[in-house]
Amino acid sequence: MVGLTPELKAQRPMHEIHSMLIFNFIKYIDWPEATKSGDFIIAVYGDDDVFQQLNTFYSNRPIKGQNAKIINAGSISEINSAHVVYVAEKKSNDFESLQTKFNGKPTLIITDRSGLGKKGSCINFKEVGGKLKFEINQASFDSNKLKISSQLVSMGIMI
């Protein structure tokens, strides 16, 4: 899962790779009991292609025993609650507003811009030596009441 080679990146568009990784991240994270009823909501902010890909992955498929609901958010105000929020690089200037809105809530925030992992994103995509990797901010997981498996921690870059 970590360290996608340039060959794989050449074969697949980045939105497909990000979607696959988001799909896999969810398997390694546990949300609080109070969030385990109703729909499992994934909000995508700023990337129609990631939204479409996640919709394809999860259509007619439960996530952690809940019905999947994928939202293509045009603004932060459209995201009222979510298990996962993916913020595309082109919308990363809105990260602080999003972080303020979801601070302390059981929401996995995934970003795609250098520096956002240190600013509080739970998981941040990062290219290292031509390979796609991801940073994990354990403090953000803790403050958002999310539990991350040691397997995922071992694959990421801890910050």
Contact yes or no for 118/159 (Cβ under 8 A) = yes
Tell me if residue 149 falls in helix, strand or coil: coil
pLDDT value, residue 1:
45
Q: Where along the chain do its domains lie? A: 6-158
pLDDT value, residue 60:
76
Mean per-residue pLDDT over the chain, rounded? 92
Query: Which CATH code of 3.40.50.2300, 3.40.50.1370, 3.40.50.300, 1.10.1660.10 fits the domain covering 6-158?
Result: 3.40.50.2300
Residue 153 has pLDDT above 60, yes or no: yes
Q: What is the pLDDT of residues 32-44, one digit of tens each?
A: 999 999 999 999 9
DSSP output for 38-67: S-EEEEEES-HHHHHHHHHHHTT--BTTB-
pLDDT value, residue 10:
55
Q: What is the pLDDT of residues 62-104, one digit of tens each?
A: 999 999 999 999 999 999 999 999 999 999 999 999 999 998 9
Q: How far is CA 145 from CA 2, 33, 49, 139, 142, in A?
A: 24, 10, 29, 10, 5
